[in-house]
Structure 1
Amino acid sequence: MNYNDNYNPSISDEDVFIEILKEKEHIGYYNLAHQDTTSFKEYAKGVKQSNVVVMGIGGSTLGTYAIYKFLKHSKELSKHLYFLETTDPIDIQSKLEGIDLEDTLFIVISKSGTTVETISIFKYIHSLVKIDKTNTLIITEHDSKLNTYAKANDMQTFEIPKNVGGRFSVFSAVGLVPLAIVGIDIDELLRGTKEVHDSFFYKEAEYKRILKKARFFVEYKNSFNINVVFSYSSRLEGFNKWYIQLWGESLGKVDINKTNQGLTPVGIIGPIDQHSFLQLIVEGKRDKTVTVVKVDNFYNHLKIPPVKLKGLEELDYLDNIEFSSLINKQADATIESINNLGDIPCDVISIDGVTEYAIASLMYEYELLTSVCAKFMYIDAYNQPGVESGKIILKNKLKKK
């Protein structure tokens, strides 16, 4: 992974690092990089179904989807993976129409075990096909009501550790089990997380850039409150969605002084959004930082053919250029245009290629960045009281039906 930036904060970071080390003793996601994946891989080998349907929402699906979306067109995967994560009835029906439910493994994921959206969809699946231990896997906390259901029906379960929050859970059973089943190399995923983990905690390159970037975001949060991730690959669309939840739900909090805090995440895709959001970045209000994410190697050599188009001869310079080269040149042009302005904070992350290692490195780095930003902001990155109140209101409304 290569990296460059134009951030220049100037405060000490040792105290924050000490706090992260303390937090690492009781916040579980930090140490997922070193876990044993044997049980996940053994279970995956025994799955006979051709389709895998994951039922979950938010942290239970977004990270898995991000990795699957990034890799699925570049690997020969053994099974098809689908996600049911919304109560939109049209979405549910349209997705299920194309799936042979008799040849499907259903994975129900809910940390609490009582997620309204997930259990509602699971109830509907029950009405369509026989659900039993041969076609259903439960991933939840060990003492949840969903786990009680699984044990009563002799279903296979995997545990979500109590100290791993949902939006930080992609490298737990939540993400690793479904991904292993469809043929993604989960050990390569963890190799990516481990390298970032070690570089950060041994105070190497990751430590320096994460602390520098986090300090800048927090020091200048009143000036640059919007953090734009500009990903130059459609394969990173899932990553953008995952980042938005991770960033928004972790950093939108009330701090120890009872002051409302937050950094607003925006995820856009290049070159598509060069024709929309880039205009806002370049000539709009100076309240945004920009992180451009590039993919160095797409492992794809599709070229623009030298087709002659009458009246468009002036564009013949495009002939024989690989699309992978074109999209990276578009990214470079965007970066240069932003940097030339001199007043928009911008950094660039170049990931090595379309691999498990590359996407896991990127995602684990963003988890660490989120945690460090939270420390600078004096907030708890791992709770979500603003979301919980809405859940309570919804349940009370439904009970009054």
Structure 2
Amino acid sequence: MIQLSLDQVRPWFTKDHENRLQSLAQFAYRQLLDGQVDAFGKGWLSWPVDDHAELYADIDKISDQLTKVSDVTVVIGIGGSYLGARSVLSMVYPEFVDQGKHQVIFAGQQLSGTYHAHLLKYLDNHEVSLVVVSKSGTTLEPSAIFHTFRAYLEQRYGNEAASRICAITDAQKGTLRQYALEKGYATLPIPDDIGGRYSVLSAVGLLPMALAGIDYRQVMAGAAEVKQRYDNLDVADNPSVQYALARHVLYQQGFAAEALVTYEPRVADFAGWWQQLFGESQGKDGIGLFPTMLQFSTDLHSMGQYVQDARKMLVETVLDVEIADAPELVVPQGLDEKNAYLEGRTYDSLREVAIESVIKAHSDAGVPNIRINASGEAASLYGELVYFFEIACAFGGYLLGTNPFDQPGVEAYKTEMKVRLQK
């Protein structure tokens, strides 16, 4: 369940703002739901409730195949091809908890030779399979790393290597698609009408979930629940829309950046997925809030001073996640006199006091604070959060007058890199 609180942002986002923006909000929402507008990027809208029986069967078959021959799968991708999958694994399997019976490791998200060399050495002591995620197969980072690891598997396993590799790529065309067909790899499709940053609920994220032992059907059920619930709400009552409207008004008032604040370490990677979603979708045409992340209470002891007292350019969106399987921990008895007031308190209660205190201090200092409370089972809650923010992001893009599904700026550096490398 997701609940939105705008109480601490009302000095900047008033009911009068909401009323005046209703016509714009209605227009932007119609743009979002209109299948003829930017149709190439809207497949995710109905995706959670579409029939995926055939896809699920293929995912289960490939997952079973790879887990039978290996105890580690390396998933190679960058941007939306890995951020979503990594974030769901982190949310379901927190630190110090094994990832089911099968380990999933991510590679190809950067060009560190040291990282990948150490990973290859680590793999020498494991049985290995490989999943490469790329719609075109020509993005430099995953292409270089994929062929490095593909060669490693071929050296270790010979002709058997092909049965240990799956390519998640374009269903009909592209360099990786052709290469996979020639090599005899298993393949899964990336839908034509779903861009990378919106693709975590497609095979891009679902296969890594299945490999890690996560019930991906529960993830999809969480997203479907939010879609069905919000479909029946008026724009004025839709929490995703209200969140987007609040950040839109704050941007118009001169705020330049939005920090997604998390208090639970297992949600930090989700903030990374959120950052790409909003950065690529709304950061164009010289406009858009700069999306960043803060992990409290850790960062309160490094960035808290800046947030409290520096230039007032930052909006904080506090994402308070309570996962149902989280154990309860209590501060023990026998504390020293100055810390005795902590005795018997649960960590949940300490976190709640921290959240309320920080929101009060920062908002009093002129930093707008939006609060989003999310609670439930990890897998279904992840799906809920993904769909909540995808709606808010795409709708917010239309409020700004931008196309929330393209990323023309990304191509500039890729083109320059290829020119330099091909000299």
Same fold by TM (over 0.5)? yes
Aligned equivalent of 2:271: 240
Aligned equivalent of 1:136: 165
Matched, 1:42 2:65: no
Of 121, 124, 145, which aligns to 2:175? 145
Aligned equivalent of 2:10: none
Matched, 1:16 2:28: yes
Aligned equivalent of 1:2: 3
Q: Structure 1 length normalisation: TM-score?
A: 0.91
Aligned equivalent of 2:379: 356
Q: Is the contact made by 1:199 and 1:205 (CA closer than 8 Å) also made in structure 2?
A: no
Aligned equivalent of 1:277: 303
Q: Which amino acid aligns with 2:415?
A: I
Q: Is the contact made by 1:70 and 1:354 (CA closer than 8 Å) also made in structure 2?
A: no
Q: Which amino acid aligns with 1:238?
A: D
Q: Which amino acid aligns with 1:56?
A: G
Runs of 4+ in structure 1 over 6 Å off: none
Matched, 1:399 2:422: yes
Q: Which amino acid aligns with 2:81?
A: S
Q: Which amino acid aligns with 1:184?
A: I
**CA–CA distance in structure 2, aligned partners of residues 328 and 124 of structure 1:** 47
Matched, 1:30 2:30: no
Aligned equivalent of 1:329: 353
Q: Structure 2 length normalisation: TM-score?
A: 0.87
Matched, 1:53 2:83: no
Q: Secondary structure at the match of 1:98?
A: helix
1:24 positional shift: 7.9
1:296 positional shift: 2.7
Q: Is the contact made by 1:102 and 1:129 (CA closer than 8 Å) also made in structure 2?
A: no
1:205 positional shift: 8.6
Q: Is the contact made by 1:170 and 1:176 (CA closer than 8 Å) also made in structure 2?
A: yes
**CA–CA distance in structure 1, aligned partners of residues 380 and 148 of structure 2:** 36
Give the RMSD, CA atoms, in angstroms: 2.1
- Deviation track 1:202-261 (CA, whole Å, cap 9, x = no partner) reads 22699522222222322331412211111111111111111111111111111xxxxx21
Q: Is the contact made by 1:70 and 1:236 (CA closer than 8 Å) also made in structure 2?
A: yes
Aligned equivalent of 1:257: none
Structure 2 gap segments, 5+ residues each? 8-12
**CA–CA distance in structure 2, aligned partners of residues 129 and 76 of structure 1:** 23
Identity value in percent: 25
Matched, 1:83 2:84: no
Q: Which amino acid aligns with 1:51?
A: V
1:276 positional shift: 2.5
* Count of aligned positions: 391
**CA–CA distance in structure 1, aligned partners of residues 228 and 246 of structure 2:** 23
Pairing 1:2-401 to 2, within 5 Å after superposition? 2-6=3-7, 7-8=13-14, 9-10=17-18, 11-12=21-22, 13-23=25-35, 26=39, 27-35=42-50, 36=52, 37-47=56-66, 48=68, 49-73=70-94, 77-84=100-107, 85-100=109-124, 103-130=127-154, 132-142=161-171, 143-203=173-233, 208-222=238-252, 223-254=254-285, 260-297=286-323, 299-308=326-335, 312-341=336-365, 343-353=366-376, 355-400=378-423
Q: Is the contact made by 1:295 and 1:354 (CA closer than 8 Å) also made in structure 2?
A: no
Distance 1:347 1:106, change over 3 A: same
Q: Is the contact made by 1:196 and 1:206 (CA closer than 8 Å) also made in structure 2?
A: no
Q: Is the contact made by 1:199 and 1:206 (CA closer than 8 Å) also made in structure 2?
A: no
**CA–CA distance in structure 1, aligned partners of residues 235 and 301 of structure 2:** 34
Distance 1:318 1:227, change over 3 A: same
- Deviation track 1:66-113 (CA, whole Å, cap 9, x = no partner) reads 111111136761211100021111111233333347512200001111
Q: Secondary structure at the match of 1:229?
A: strand
**CA–CA distance in structure 2, aligned partners of residues 354 and 70 of structure 1:** 10
Which of 269-278 and 161-170 deviates more?
269-278
**CA–CA distance in structure 2, aligned partners of residues 118 and 202 of structure 1:** 41
Q: Is the contact made by 1:64 and 1:174 (CA closer than 8 Å) also made in structure 2?
A: yes
**CA–CA distance in structure 1, aligned partners of residues 219 and 277 of structure 2:** 19
